[in-house]
Structure 1
Amino acid sequence: MSDFPADLVDFSAARVLVVGDVMLDRFVYGDVQRISPEAPIPVIRAERELAMPGGAGNVARNIAALGARATLIGLVGDDTAADLLNDVLAAEPGIEARLVVDETRPTIEKSRFIGSRQQLLRVDRETSRAPADDSLATLIAAAIDALADCSVLVLSDYAKGVMAPSVVTKLVAAAAKAGKPVLVDPKGSDFSRYRGATLVTPNLAEARLASGMACDDDAGVVAAGRRLQADSGLAGILITRGAAGMTLLQGDAAPMHLPAEAREVFDVSGAGDTVVATIAAALAAGRSLPQAAHLANVAAGIVVGKIGTAVVLPEELRVALHMPDPHSFAAKVATRQQARARVDLWRAHGERIGFTNGVFDLLHPGHLALLSEVRSQCDRLIVAINADASVKKLKGPQRPVQDEDHRAQLLAALGMVDLVVVFEEDTPIPLLELLQPDLLVKGGDYTVDQVVGADVVRGYGGEVRVSKLVAGQSTTATISRLRG
């Protein structure tokens, strides 16, 4: 996949319509230090709460995170949860929400309680009551109206009532009339209600249930998929298979098996939303279905490496596509936005991020001592180096001895270094403001207050330290000794 062009990940012109079961996801985070005296259950001391769009709302959120624009249509109740959901959707750039109020049903809520990075309890607030007929009619009308400005329709079915057979049939027909593809994230055992869809994206368990077949290996998955295509009138099917990757069946074309991209799996929640969102954004941007499937496979590998219901950023896709080995030297040298994407991923894992900066012209034992000291105090170490033009201003026209590319590569080759970023400015302050590391360490005879950027780091609650240099070790001294 390293031969994919960079513009394959440009979704800025994509417009996607998402219709389905919209929910409000709440997350309560806290610390667990004792067991309740009332029952053998942990007590969470709540420290922070987070609300975000769930269900079809998370599909829209994933589409917007990729740089596309999403129009979201679904049902909510006449309640405070709907007010909060509208607020969080309004705060998500790239999403236009057109939610229909159904006074006969509450807004669907899922509250998760997480202690010490482990989900301990989920509380659902929902009803099995079917939506009111007039609410569904209003939703259908709103969706058909919005379809005119979108290139792809996504039906996000969580079996909560919005994706009633009459709704699916009318929306698939409207999209077919407009010549626009329909993607379905399905539920249940009867895929025939999605007849006419361009692509259905079940996971392995859903494919087994709907087909009644084992799906134990590639051949079994293909057989089940072909049966679903034939019996349910589906143009294509993408079966997500967890650690076995994905299988794409498109019309009569040969099956495409995509190996799993994930290196570490932390949380699979929301991965299906990421898959359908990535395919939708890619198709809306003019990519082919095989290209879209490749991108979705890479995106799924990224999102399961995050904790909670997460999204994938374009820069993360670019890094994964063009730097397939995250431990290679090249993968460690990053642009600012690539660095930000990598930091967001590390932070989602709860890792402590350290930062140091300098010229690092000729590596010597003093440099190694500094880097080793910083790395011992954090989980990830970012080294920012001055660009060549900046070095000449600081050190004179004869420096640097090594250009910025070679300096970056040498640092990236060190196992203790996780990321190298070149900065053009005279100081690393803009980079510190962007990345917000937990720890800033500078080597030299300074006080903490004299460290450039210390006020920035301490301003957002980070820590600043000074490391003493190794006596007699400096690039200037090394150059002097070489000159005799």
Structure 2
Amino acid sequence: MISSSLADLVPRLAAARVLCVGDVMLDRFVHGSVERISPEAPIPVLRVRESRMMLGGAGNVVRNVVALGGACTFLSVTGSDPAGAEVARLLAEEPRVTPGLVQLASRRTSVKTRYLAGGQQLLRADEETVAPLDAADALRLIDKARQHLEPGTGLVLSDYGKGVLSEDVTRALIALGREKGCPVIVDPKGRDFSRYRGATVLTPNRKELAEATGLPTDTDTEVAAACNAVIGVCGVDAVLATRSQDGMTLVTAGGGVVHLPAEAREVFDVSGAGDTVIATLVGALSVGAPLEDACRLANLAAGIVVGRVGTATVPGADLMAAIHHQDLSASEARVVETDEAAERVARWRRQGLRIGFTNGCFDLLHPGHVSLLRQARATCDRLIVGLNSDASVRRLKGPTRPVQSEMARATVLASLAGVDLVVIFTEDTPLALIERLMPDILVKGADYTEDQVVGGAVVKAAGGRVVLARLEDGHSTTATLARVHGSPTGGKTP
């Protein structure tokens, strides 16, 4: 299951080793309230409440890498100014970061100041130098990268177009990454992506992709075509296009296309979301994750970070919580009404798939249930479980049953890998449901005979068959409850 592979991947991010090279910035957030309009001009007056600073630009990639548990060496350039000193101080506070800043008196440290009130940005003011490094400073940066880049390290080039990653520096770093066998992930800028030739993955947003290719990027098909154009012209292994509310699209040089829907439940601030994506992506790739899994994890991280204000980070614990939420949502999506089940059965049949069906109360799930479901799934391509409703269980088992509600029982069943659909029925038997779905294979425990299986005659008359699954001795909900209450008894598996 996809969620299982992602859950296994998150703890491994603590072993990630990343070299990040790019344009560092100082993000300043000024929070306050607006209560009036200025008499001097038709603009709001912000009453400042607090101001805070944090690493931005490529520095936010670094923050995200370490938030996920990884270690990061960071190479960048600042000015010899108070903002540059603040960048150095903030880097020193980050755990597992090895800074490699080059301070230049000729440059101004990039500062982005955002003014906010009521959770909304009112204005952003930028102070910066936008100019390429001179030849000597560029060589210093490349030499530092050569000292720190080792096999097994992920290399990130975080290009914000301020001049640290000139064309020559970029090409030299990509060549160095390839030489060391390291994944090279580039967050690109500008219209000419050919400067990133040889990179492993480019991560443009929709606007950047459109500007670099001159192609439309509104639909899934158009985005995939534009990504393929970049791959063809630039010779990269893959493009991961970030598409805001439309999620992401991964296109590989081998022709693979995967569209990932947006995972955000609420969007407050998209600042730095691209940094979160690239940090998660490079962390996952550096520990050997398959590219698609790495992109799915990055998509999940982006969905979390846009729900937070400011250039936020996503700790590994938050990623695990989101994966668990996905599991629950996926389980709930497998619990359907009869009409929806019939539609899915019709689609599966058109695909030539065999439909299996079993049923029961499944009150307290035990090894006997698991064995029955595993055997049932082995007989078919898609397994549907008919589940007695609470009222039906009470009529069959007595007023003290079920122990768990029908939705609790359905959610647990739907979370099992071998179960494709769960349908709750209110009658005492599933006969009406079986007649509606008409499965190819009807599975029941071997404590029944074929002629006792409800719906067996209907299924066989339609050309299907009945399968009696072997039982696991000593397991039943009734027996379990009897042991709890001190009165040994027996009971059938479901």
After TM superposition, the structure 1 = structure 2 runs for residues 146-157 of structure 1, keeping only pairs within 5 Å, are 146-148=148-150, 151-157=153-159
Aligned CA distance change for structure 1 residues 270 and 294 (closer, same or farther; 3 Å): same
Amino acid at match of 2:20: V
Aligned CA distance change for structure 1 residues 328 and 197 (closer, same or farther; 3 Å): closer
> Structure 2: how far apart are the matches of 1:297 and 1:109?
28
Question: 2:469 — aligned with what?
Answer: none
Q: After superposition, what is the alpha-carbon deviation per residue over 1:6-41, rounded to whole angstroms, capped at 9, x for unaligned?
A: 331011111001000111111111122222222222
Post-superposition shift, 1:96? 1.9
Q: Does residue 239 of the first structure (1) align with residue 241 of the second (2)? A: yes
Equivalent residue for 2:222, pick from 220, 223, 232: 220
Aligned CA distance change for structure 1 residues 328 and 43 (closer, same or farther; 3 Å): farther
Post-superposition shift, 1:294? 0.6
> Structure 1: how far apart are the matches of 2:280 and 2:136?
32
Question: 1:24 — aligned with what?
Answer: 26
Q: Does residue 290 of the first structure (1) align with residue 292 of the second (2)? A: yes
Larger mean Cα displacement after TM superposition, 130-139 or 231-240: 130-139
Post-superposition shift, 1:88? 1.1
Question: 1:132 — aligned with what?
Answer: 134
Q: Does residue 83 of the first structure (1) align with residue 85 of the second (2)? A: yes
Q: Does residue 319 of the first structure (1) align with residue 315 of the second (2)? A: no
Aligned CA distance change for structure 1 residues 278 and 47 (closer, same or farther; 3 Å): same
> Structure 1: how far apart are the matches of 2:37 and 2:83?
31
After TM superposition, the structure 1 = structure 2 runs for residues 34-433 of structure 1, keeping only pairs within 5 Å, are 34-148=36-150, 151-324=153-326
> Structure 1: how far apart are the matches of 2:329 and 2:313?
23
Larger mean Cα displacement after TM superposition, 54-63 or 304-313: 304-313
Q: Give the SS at the match of 2:74.
A: strand
* Residues 227, 251 of structure 2: 8 Å contact kept: yes
* Residues 281, 297 of structure 2: 8 Å contact kept: yes
Post-superposition shift, 1:313? 1.3
Question: 1:423 — aligned with what?
Answer: none
* Residues 5, 293 of structure 2: 8 Å contact kept: no
> Structure 2: how far apart are the matches of 1:211 and 1:5?
32
Amino acid at match of 2:263: E
Question: 1:33 — aligned with what?
Answer: 35
Q: Give the SS at the match of 1:119.
A: strand
Amino acid at match of 1:235: D
Post-superposition shift, 1:67? 0.9
> Structure 2: how far apart are the matches of 1:32 and 1:137?
48
Q: Give the SS at the match of 1:98.
A: strand
Aligned residues, how many?
336
Amino acid at match of 2:298: A
Question: 1:447 — aligned with what?
Answer: none
* Residues 102, 131 of structure 1: 8 Å contact kept: no
Amino acid at match of 1:2: S
Runs (4 or more) in structure 1 with deviation over 6 Å come to 325-330
Post-superposition shift, 1:64? 0.8
Q: Does residue 2 of the first structure (1) align with residue 3 of the second (2)? A: yes
* Residues 101, 135 of structure 1: 8 Å contact kept: no
Of structures 1 and 2, the larger Rg is shown by 2
Q: After superposition, what is the alpha-carbon deviation per residue over 1:147-183, rounded to whole angstroms, capped at 9, x for unaligned?
A: 1276110000001001100001111111111111100
> Structure 1: how far apart are the matches of 2:153 and 2:131?
32
Aligned CA distance change for structure 1 residues 328 and 209 (closer, same or farther; 3 Å): closer
Q: Give the SS at the match of 2:14.
A: coil
Given the two structures, how large is their TM-score scaled by the length of structure 2? 0.65
> Structure 1: how far apart are the matches of 2:162 and 2:21?
13
Q: Give the SS at the match of 1:40.
A: coil
The percentage of aligned residue pairs carrying the same residue is: 49
Question: 1:480 — aligned with what?
Answer: none
Post-superposition shift, 1:98? 0.9
Q: After superposition, what is the alpha-carbon deviation per residue over 1:86-107, rounded to whole angstroms, capped at 9, x for unaligned?
A: 1111112232211111221111
Larger mean Cα displacement after TM superposition, 144-153 or 209-218: 144-153
> Structure 2: how far apart are the matches of 1:150 and 1:87?
28
Post-superposition shift, 1:253? 3.8
Amino acid at match of 1:3: S
> Structure 2: how far apart are the matches of 1:284 and 1:45?
46
Q: After superposition, what is the alpha-carbon deviation per residue over 1:201-231, rounded to whole angstroms, capped at 9, x for unaligned?
A: 0011111111111122222111111111011
Aligned CA distance change for structure 1 residues 2 and 273 (closer, same or farther; 3 Å): same
* Residues 185, 201 of structure 2: 8 Å contact kept: yes
Aligned CA distance change for structure 1 residues 127 and 5 (closer, same or farther; 3 Å): closer
Post-superposition shift, 1:236? 0.9
Unpaired stretches in structure 1, ≥5 consecutive residues: 331-404, 414-484
* Residues 228, 253 of structure 2: 8 Å contact kept: no
Question: 1:386 — aligned with what?
Answer: none
* Residues 262, 300 of structure 1: 8 Å contact kept: yes
Q: Give the SS at the match of 1:319.
A: helix
* Residues 133, 166 of structure 2: 8 Å contact kept: no
Aligned CA distance change for structure 1 residues 329 and 256 (closer, same or farther; 3 Å): closer
Amino acid at match of 1:85: V
> Structure 1: how far apart are the matches of 2:6 and 2:34?
47
Q: After superposition, what is the alpha-carbon deviation per residue over 1:21-67, rounded to whole angstroms, capped at 9, x for unaligned?
A: 11111111112222222222222222211111110000111111111
Q: Give the SS at the match of 2:61.
A: helix
Q: Give the SS at the match of 1:99.
A: strand
* Residues 17, 150 of structure 1: 8 Å contact kept: no
> Structure 2: how far apart are the matches of 1:204 and 1:129?
25
Amino acid at match of 2:214: G
> Structure 2: how far apart are the matches of 1:65 and 1:299?
11
Post-superposition shift, 1:3? 3.0
Aligned CA distance change for structure 1 residues 118 and 325 (closer, same or farther; 3 Å): farther
Q: CA RMSD in A?
A: 2.3
> Structure 2: how far apart are the matches of 1:137 and 1:313?
35
* Residues 29, 52 of structure 2: 8 Å contact kept: yes
